[in-house]
Structure 1
Amino acid sequence: MNYDLEFGGETDKYEFFLQLAKKNPGHVLELACGTGLATLYLAERGVQISGVDIVEPMLAYARVKAKDLPVAFIEADARTFESDQRFSMIFLTGNAFQAFLSDEDQQALLQTAYNHLEPGGIFAFEMRNPDGNDLSDEEEEHWGTFVDVDGVTVKVSGSQTYDAEKQIMHWTTVRDWGHRQTTSRIACRFTDVQTLQQLLEKQGFTLENQYANWDQTPFQPSSPMVISVCKKG
């Protein structure tokens, strides 16, 4: 619930995927769907959709929120997920692509997407662009706040350390409730855009568009974010 309060409400992002799904009607799949923030937004607006994630507690909360919506939430690893269902569109968001930290992981994810798309199906995701972000090491600094389920304002701060050889950023996040603190750690790979294009082409995807943000501003080399929309060849 606190995850949703901290990271939810990105309507512009949900609308981007909703409009993409409407242009490619059929059954949609979100990989690494988490608590279903994007999945349920689309489902509530009539899109036939399923979600896959490896973290069962997040899926359990997604199912509670789904109520009577006809959404399937499936516990599985996006690298090894297998289904007989074929989808008109598959997407990841929340920079989830960057959670796949090795060449093998990225290739397995792309293989899953390719295998489960209908011919001509769409694959879409976003990631942070290494050429548009500061990858230098940073000591702990204030990142923001959110209000939790009990109405408490939680202060969020963090630090970052970048492993340039492996292209992996290590973030440490501290959440301070006043009476207690929690610490979490996450690692994300920063793949450069040229390498990404080669990965997609090698897997059989045709890159249709790349955007700098959710309003479909064209991507520039210095854009902090790159949103890729690909088609199965």
Structure 2
Amino acid sequence: MIDYDTYEEFYDPETYDLICDPFNEDMPTIEQWAKTTGEPLLDLACGTGRMSIHLALKGYEVTGVDIVPQMIARAQQKAADRGASIDFVVSDARDFHLHKQFPFIFMIMNAFQFLPARPDHEAMLACVREHLTPDGYFLFETRNPSPRNLYEPRHPQAEHYTTVDGRQLITTDHEYYDPMTQIQHCTGHLQFTYADGRTEARTNRVALRYVFPQEMEALLYYNGFKIHTVYGDWQRNPLTAESPAMIYVCQKRD
């Protein structure tokens, strides 16, 4: 049972960017597929536009969709600051209708895990099918349900950051995995320290749904997709039991 707002960490997009924006390991693979398929591109659960802006500055036509208005507002400002033209839309990945199709749709940064149950997965996949061209590709990323990901601390040590306005930020977190729901409940603790010594504490909670490989194969098949490729990481190594991620590239099934 999820009795909290699992999107609460996204209501502060500036702090989200401080932690997540430097990540770039996924860019070569996404660029490769964008080059293979051509445009337009759909960045589903685009967050603050990290990948959308990167691709738009490479010359691609990009649409970004995210459920959190604060994230889209931040993405629009970042795109404007960098001179990138992107159509950003506030909408739910389970219920969006853009009235156009795309040869490449991608859903990265483990956004798939914010869909907590099978009906959510099926609704999202139906929307993707609606928006995918007949020969198009859908790429999405989710963490591999390995014992390490499920039961070992993701960040065993506190992490330190400096915000753009000079505050010091220390983050710690802990996780609990419920094997019956396949949901990992993650609690993040953020401690901000101001220049004058004042402190501010926040807590963010996130519910991450895990899907096992055989379960994923059935989920995709019975929702009209065939698997083209599966990577175990962004270096495009094959999926193994110890891989950190499961990155699926799919097409519509006849």
Which bin holds the TM-score, normalised by the shorter protein? over 0.9
Q: Which amino acid aligns with 1:81?
A: F
Q: Residue 186 of structure 1 is aligned with which of 206, 214, 227?
A: 206
Question: 1: CA distance between counterparts of 2:214 and 2:95?
Answer: 26
The 5 A counterparts of 1:1-233 are 1-67=14-80, 68-136=83-151, 142-178=157-193, 179-233=199-253
2:109 touches 2:141 (CA, 8 Å); kept in 1? yes
SS of structure 2 residue aligned to 1:42: helix
TM-score by length of 1: 0.94
**Relative to structure 2, which stretch is displaced further, 9-18 or 163-172?**
9-18
For the aligned residue pairs, the C-alpha RMSD in angstroms reads 1.8
The Cα offsets for residues 123-149 of structure 1, whole Å up to 9 and x where unpaired, read as 0011111125342386x9534222211
SS of structure 2 residue aligned to 1:22: helix
Q: Which runs of 5+ in 1 are unaligned?
A: none
2:187 touches 2:206 (CA, 8 Å); kept in 1? yes
Q: Identity of aligned pairs, percent? A: 34
**Relative to structure 2, which stretch is displaced further, 77-86 or 214-223?**
214-223
TM-score by length of 2: 0.87
Task: Report the count of equivalent residues.
Answer: 233
CA separation of 1:23 and 1:162: change in aligned 2, threshold 3 A: same
Q: Which runs of 5+ in 2 are unaligned?
A: 1-13, 194-198
CA separation of 1:151 and 1:15: change in aligned 2, threshold 3 A: farther
Question: 2: CA distance between counterparts of 1:36 and 1:90?
Answer: 14
Question: 1: CA distance between counterparts of 2:23 and 2:60?
Answer: 18
